[in-house]
Amino acid sequence: MIRWLLTTFVAVAVLSACWPWLRKLGIGRMPGDITLRLFGKEYPFPFMSTLVLSMLLSLIARLL
């Protein structure tokens, strides 16, 4: 259980650091992705992008 929690935390930290680069690739701009702007700060919720990336990673894992 602790391993999954740690893995999730590391993945979120890495993706947060790579967010500006990922936006240039179109991640976070798909239909189904929500960006809230509150008090001058943006909060992205990339629901559809997460599904697409998950499918791609699972496809790559199956091929290997």
Residue 35 in contact with residue 45, Cβ under 8 Å?
Answer: yes
Instruction: List pLDDT tens digits, range 43-54.
Output: 888 888 888 888
CA distances from 8 to 13, 27, 43 (A): 9, 19, 19
Kindly report the pTM of this predicted structure: 0.60
Q: Distance from CA of residue 6 to its chain's centroid? A: 16
Q: Hey, where are the domains in the chain?
A: 2-63
Mapped onto helix, strand or coil, the DSSP state of residue 40 is: coil
Residue 44: predicted pLDDT: 80
